[in-house]
């Protein structure tokens, strides 16, 4: 007799495992299928985010930044030292322990909430049945009232630089270097490329980033992207824009990369090359031909605003559907879908999903950019406040960047918050909370912010929107 559940989730990443837990909390019998295993061959929940994405990369970013500060940033605080070294193997080992703790934590949460964890490959059949292929090759068909597809994404491969998991690696391989490469190439100046490039640059690698586009961080506000390019370049990243990679040749333990730019064809040699040109949805062998679920030419599953597919009772969330590939977007979609399955009128505000790049300084934003709003014909008022004028940032010797608040010129409603600098992710989240409730720049300006804090920069930027900043000179209105 086959197993039956109210909800079956395929994929235990940040979308899938959250959806499963929420469904179980709502009283629905729930199973979650996952096939990913760790180096020990054990089931590892948490998907790309916990295992080879968000969490391990942040562990390396934090470790490498502490090393950088120990080398170059302690003297100004009166801390004298000499001979600081980095044990790369220990750093990578620390990262692995963090990952193991969090993935095992998901398993504990499944048990605590009554979610049945099933190991193997899940495939949607017709009639909301799910085929589970277990590690031993045996097959079981599970029946479900509702199915949530949360199979996630994987790195995009490009023909000019095929990954060999030795000299040429993807983002997963870049988390496992056991030594600092002398010459490191990164294809792609997006979130992943900049974060991983920053890690190894801080540890001593000579990093060159090859970006095909002529515009740096196109999705970011222009003022932020310009500041980011200037700052990251000063930190040592050699970012080449308009550099389209056309080929690569591995010679022993190095790779010669060919690319074209405004000056024609160029070649450059690296000891390691990271391919970080984006990610694509995982839908391979996910859907039976008669499942009824449709996908587009890029492999994304068609869904409506509530993540429902073309088949009643079947949903898809996270990286496998339209929109930004972000763990927090996937998680909130998972909660929304579980709530809707239960019959609640849940919805999600896709206009207020924060974006963060965890370089140093951090780069984050929520809402629309100034250039996008002007292109739409929206008249805006803008307020900015530099961290160089923040007492808290000065005390921490971390004064690069600024906070930018954009408000509708007619209503004063905040339409975007953009930050580059210390604590950017946290400050942008404060902006997102306010924007969710329709805050105006005046509202933020009237709030009491504790002193001294980085948050005061958001306060002052909001005040500056209407020419009322206290701790910087206000721009004269025309």
Residues classed as catalytic:
451
**Residues contacting 186, CB < 8 A, separation 6+:** 193, 196, 197, 207, 208, 209, 210, 273, 274, 276
- Within 8 A by CB and 6+ apart from 367, the residues are 351, 352, 406, 414, 415, 416, 417, 431, 432, 435
H helix count then E strand count, the chain = 12, 22
CA distance 45 to 42: 10
Contact 11, 321 (CB under 8 A): no
Query: What count of Cα atoms within 13 Å lies in the side-chain half-sphere of residue 321?
Result: 25
DSSP states of 75-124 as a string? GGGT---------HHHHHHHHHHHHHHHHHHHHHHHHHHTPEEEESEEEE
Angle between helices 455-465 and 424-436 (to 10 degrees): 50
Least Cα distance to 259 among 196, 190, 270, 192 occurs for 270
In this structure, what are the phi and psi dihedrals at residue 432, rounded to the nearest 5 degrees?
Answer: -65, -40
Rounded-to-integer distance, Cα 226 and Cα 254, Å:
32
Phi, psi of 14 (to 5 degrees): -60, -20
CB 261, CB 243: distance < 8 Å? yes
**How many whole angstroms separate alpha carbon 45 and alpha carbon 47?**
6
Planar angle of CA 308, 312, 316, nearest 5 degrees = 30
- Alpha-carbon gap, residue 338 to 346, rounded angstroms: 9
Phi, psi values for residue 256, rounded to 5°:
-100, 120
Bridge partners (DSSP) of residue 264 are 261
- Give the C-alpha distances (Å, rounded to integers) separating 73 from 62, 196, 205: 14, 21, 19
- Which helix H or strand E contains 410, and what residues bound it? none
The CA distance from 364 to 224, in Å, is 9
C-alpha distance across the termini of the chain, in Å: 76
- Strands in 138-253 per DSSP E: 139-149, 153-155, 168-169, 183-187, 206-211, 238-241, 244-251
CA 397 centroid distance within chain: 27
């Amino acid at each position: 007799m086959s197993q039956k559940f109210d909800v079956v989730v395929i994929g235990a990443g940040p979308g899938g495992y959250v959806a499963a837990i929420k469904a179980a909390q709502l009283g629905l019998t729930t199973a979650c299928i996952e096939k990913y295993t760790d180096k020990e061959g054990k089931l590892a929940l948490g998907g790309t985010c916990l295992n080879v994405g968000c969490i391990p990369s942040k562990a390396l970013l934090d470790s490498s930044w502490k090393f950088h500060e120990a080398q170059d940033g302690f003297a100004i605080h009166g801390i004298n030292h000499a001979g600081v070294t980095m044990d790369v193997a220990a750093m990578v080992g620390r990262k692995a322990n963090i990952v193991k703790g969090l993935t095992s934590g998901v398993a504990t949460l499944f048990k605590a909430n009554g979610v049945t964890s099933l190991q193997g490959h899940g495939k949607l059949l017709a009639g909301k049945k799910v085929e589970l292929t277990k590690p031993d090759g045996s097959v079981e068909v599970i029946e479900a009232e509702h199915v949530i597809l949360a199979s996630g994404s994987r790195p995009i491969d490009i023909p000019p630089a095929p990954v060999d998991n030795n000299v040429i690696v993807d983002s997963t391989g870049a988390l496992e270097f056991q030594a600092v490469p002398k010459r490191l190439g990164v294809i792609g100046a997006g979130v992943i490329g900049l974060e991983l490039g920053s890690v190894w640059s801080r540890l001593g690698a000579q990093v060159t980033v090859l970006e095909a586009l002529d515009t740096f961080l196109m999705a970011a506000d222009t003022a932020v992207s310009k500041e980011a390019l200037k700052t990251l370049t000063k930190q040592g990243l050699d970012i080449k824009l308009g550099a389209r990679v056309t080929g690569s040749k591995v010679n022993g333990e190095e790779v010669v990369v060919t690319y074209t730019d405004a000056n024609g064809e160029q070649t450059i040699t690296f000891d390691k090359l990271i391919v970080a040109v984006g990610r694509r949805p995982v839908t391979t062998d996910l859907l039976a031909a008669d499942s009824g679920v449709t996908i587009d030419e890029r492999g994304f599953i068609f869904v409506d605003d509530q993540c429902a597919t073309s088949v009643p009772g079947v949903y898809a969330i996270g990286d496998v559907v339209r929109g930004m590939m972000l763990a927090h977007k996937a998680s909130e979609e998972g909660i929304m879908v579980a709530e809707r399955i239960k019959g609640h009128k849940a919805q999600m505000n896709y206009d207020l999903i924060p974006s963060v790049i965890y370089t140093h300084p951090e780069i984050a934003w929520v809402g629309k950019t100034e250039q996008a709003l002007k292109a739409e014909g929206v008249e805006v008022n803008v307020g900015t406040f530099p961290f160089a004028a923040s007492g808290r940032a000065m005390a921490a010797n971390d004064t690069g960047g600024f906070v930018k608040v954009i408000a509708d010129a007619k209503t004063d409603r905040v339409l975007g918050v953009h930050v580059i600098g210390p604590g950017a992710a946290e400050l942008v989240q404060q902006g997102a909370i306010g924007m969710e409730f329709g805050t105006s720049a005046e509202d933020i300006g009237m709030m009491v912010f504790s002193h001294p804090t980085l948050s005061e920069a958001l306060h002052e930027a909001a005040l500056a929107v209407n020419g009322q900043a206290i701790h910087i000179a206000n721009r004269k209105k025309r």
